Amino acid sequence: MSLNLRDLSQRSQGLAPGHRACAGCGFPTLIRMLLATSARPLVVVNATGCLEVVSTIYPYSAWPVPWMHNAFENAAATASGVQAAAVALQRRGRLDRLPKVVAIGGDGGTYDIGLQSLSGALERGTDFLYVCYNNEGYMNTGIQRSSATPQGARTTTTPVGARQLGKPQPRKDMTEIVAAHGAPYVAQASISHWGDLGKKLQKALATAGPTFLNVLTPCQPGWDYPPEQLVQIAKMAVETRYWPLYEVDRGVWRITYIPRERTPLKAFLEMQGRFRHLLDDEKVLAELQSWVDAHWERLEARARA
Ligand SMILES: Cc1ncc(C[n+]2csc(CCOP(=O)(O)OP(=O)(O)O)c2C)c(N)n1
């Protein structure tokens, strides 16, 4: 299936208009791309979080495909059960085409609470795609920190004051953790780079076995930016190398977009209120920059190997 803008714009929008995501929210773009790029029927399993809440306010649903809500901690386990059921139904002649099962969770549901069930499904080799829509916090319950929240960010549980400048710890590297399970296709993407995201979705959907996509989807109230700057912020995350775009395809690491210039991390931080308290602190800025540089160098080394 081709991936050009004209074709995409003529395809069904997928997610119905009238979902209740905030203005300036990142994940509706991701969900539309997922639904537009899939060549096979999908069954979606959705962990608790903003996406589930805003797209399925009873008795309405914005989803054009079979969709199941499940508890926070077991999206991947539920997906494994749905996948096994689909195979059994097909074996009995009650299903013509095997659907692709897609589990979707926020970073809280993926990095923290759902990690054990995700790890189990990866280890069992379940044939499914897991998509983490990563807004770097527990946004649905009022902006608490998650292990995906970057160091220095202000959240309600990592406040800014005399004793602490936002979150003390750096974010967990979930993409590497999944890659370490040996899943056949693992990638990091951003809603700002739609072509790259679309290709990764297509690859992940077409690969047998467990596949994983970690997609940066900014959150307007949590990150505190003007809604119309959604795409520019996601783009700046990539340009500053804060959010590298890469894939691990059957163990081969490849950076899929290399920014032409070394844009300082500050350019990403200053677009958002959650980092406002850091902008005059040269020492903290240098620390955060060196964390980004070290991560990028490690990624480059893996891609060269
Ligand atoms: C086991 C469990 N713990 C806590 C909650 C309360 N809860 C509902 S949504 C949510 C935050 C979800 O965060 P994330 O997965 O990052 O998704 P987002 O809200 O950012 O979309 C929490 C803590 C819950 N439903 N179940």
What residue has token string 């993409």? 175
pTM for this prediction: 0.97
| Exposed/middle/buried for residue 90 (C-beta within 10 Å: 0-12, 13-18, 19+) | middle
Enumerate residues lining ligand 1, CB below 6 A.
48-51, 72-73, 105-109, 113, 135, 137-141, 146
Gap between the Cα atoms of 195 and 64, Å rounded: 23
Pocket test for ligand 1, best of 25, 56, 141 (most atoms within 8 A of CB): 141
| CA 16–ligand 1 middle distance (angstroms) | 23
224: tokens are: 């505190």
Cβ-based neighbour number of residue 92 at 10 Å: 8
pLDDT for res 17? 79
pLDDT for res 12? 67
From the first residue on, what is the mean pLDDT of each consecutive set of 10 residues in the chain (305 residues)? 78 80 97 92 97 94 95 96 98 96 98 98 98 98 98 98 95 98 98 97 97 98 98 98 98 98 98 97 97 98 94
Helix axes 75-91, 115-124, angle to 10 degrees: 40
What phi and psi values does residue 27 have, to the nearest 5 degrees?
Answer: -75, -25
| CA 144–ligand 1 middle distance (angstroms) | 10
Look at ligand 1, atom 21, and give the residue with the nearest C-alpha. Answer: 50
Gap between the Cα atoms of 73 and 77, Å rounded: 9
Q: Are 46 and 70 in contact (CB under 8 A)?
A: yes
Radius of gyration of the chain (CA): 19
| CA 10–ligand 1 middle distance (angstroms) | 35
Task: Give the DSSP letter of residue 136.
Answer: S
Look at ligand 1, atom 24, and give the residue with the nearest C-alpha. Answer: 72
What residue has token string 């805003």? 54
Sign of CA dihedral 173, 177, 178, 182: positive
The ligand 1 atom at the shortest distance from the C-alpha of residue 113 is 1
Q: Is the bond preceding 59 in cis, omega lying within 30 degrees of 0?
A: yes
Look at ligand 1, atom 1, and give the residue with the nearest C-alpha. Answer: 72
Pocket test for ligand 1, best of 22, 31, 46, 48 (most atoms within 8 A of CB): 48
Look at ligand 1, atom 4, and give the residue with the nearest C-alpha. Answer: 72
pLDDT for res 19? 85
